[in-house]
Structure 1
Amino acid sequence: MLDHISIIVSDFARSKRFYEAVLHPLGYRLMTELPEAAGFGVSDGEGKSGDPGGDLWIARGKPVPPLVHVAFNAASSDAVDAFHAAALAAGGRDNGAPGLRPQYHARYYAAFVFDPDGYNIEAVCHAGASRSE
């Protein structure tokens, strides 16, 4: 099981704003902020899940290919839709509109975006679409 993931970002302030916006629909929040790093995570109501500082960390630096793919679990297809809309509004680039991906499994509902540094960020709900597709 993973404890946390860290990625290097070229513009810390821009990336922090981006991740605050796109992770909000998925229940994530900024949990820790240091001068050149920030941790995002989900509170379980009684504490913090994963790393106490966050499950996803961003840190100032120079991204070097190959870039990574990070997929966040979403509670519903509506949260996936909100993630995608927030990402585009926050300056992300579309890499796959919200929808079913039956090539993965029948109820795999996901959206993909590129963050400001080109990382492929996904939100996925394994319960299918909440409306008819």
Structure 2
Amino acid sequence: MFDHVVFGVSDYAASKAFFLKALEPLGVMLVSEGPLGIELCRPDSQSSLCIRRVEAKATHLHLAFTAESRGQVEAFYRAALEAGGEDNGAPGLRPQYHANYYAAFVIGPDGHNIEAVCHQAEG
């Protein structure tokens, strides 16, 4: 649905390090960096996430990334915590959304709620 998403961060260095480490298990990588900030995407995708430098505290944002497996959700969660993220929901089923909604949530450097979700049944 989206071609790209752009949002601002007040601590560019911390956010860059956080997103690179947290999203690596999902196959997301740095594709460009310039004066405005960075662009991240998967090698097989045209969709991208762009992180920009801003002076003021960034507005709250919820970003949910698709994971191909429950193992990727768990790897994202571990990597995000190691990168300095704050737990906002350990990996697990969220049946209030649907029977196979398996997700994990962390709070990133600017207070954004970052999620990885797999919609596939286990196995």
Q: TM tier, shorter chain?
A: over 0.9
Q: CA contact under 8 A between 1:109 and 1:129: conserved in structure 2?
A: no
Query: With structure 2 as the length reference, what TM-score do the two structures score?
Result: 0.94
Moved over 3 A (4+): none
Q: CA contact under 8 A between 2:91 and 2:105: conserved in structure 1?
A: yes
Supply the AA of the counterpart residue of 2:46: G
Q: Does 1:11 align with 2:11?
A: yes
Q: For 1:67-117, what per-residue CA distance to the aligned partner results, in whole angstroms no more than 9, with x for missing partners?
A: 111100001000000100011100000110000000000000000011000
- Give me the identity figure in percent: 53
What residue number does 1:72 align with? 65
What residue number does 1:28 align with? 28
Q: CA contact under 8 A between 2:6 and 2:52: conserved in structure 1?
A: yes
Q: For 1:29-83, what per-residue CA distance to the aligned partner results, in whole angstroms no more than 9, with x for missing partners?
A: 0011113400100111xxxx225xxx11111112343x11110000100000010
1:85-104 equivalences under 5 Å are 85-104=78-97
Aligned length: 122
What residue number does 1:63 align with? 57
Alpha-carbon distance, 1:22 to partner: 0.5
Question: Structure 2: where are the runs of 5+ without partners?
Answer: none
Supply the AA of the counterpart residue of 1:75: E
Query: With structure 1 as the length reference, what TM-score do the two structures score?
Result: 0.87
Question: What SS class does the counterpart of residue 97 from structure 2 fall into?
Answer: coil
Aligned-pair Cα RMSD in Å:
1.2
Question: Structure 1: where are the runs of 5+ without partners?
Answer: none
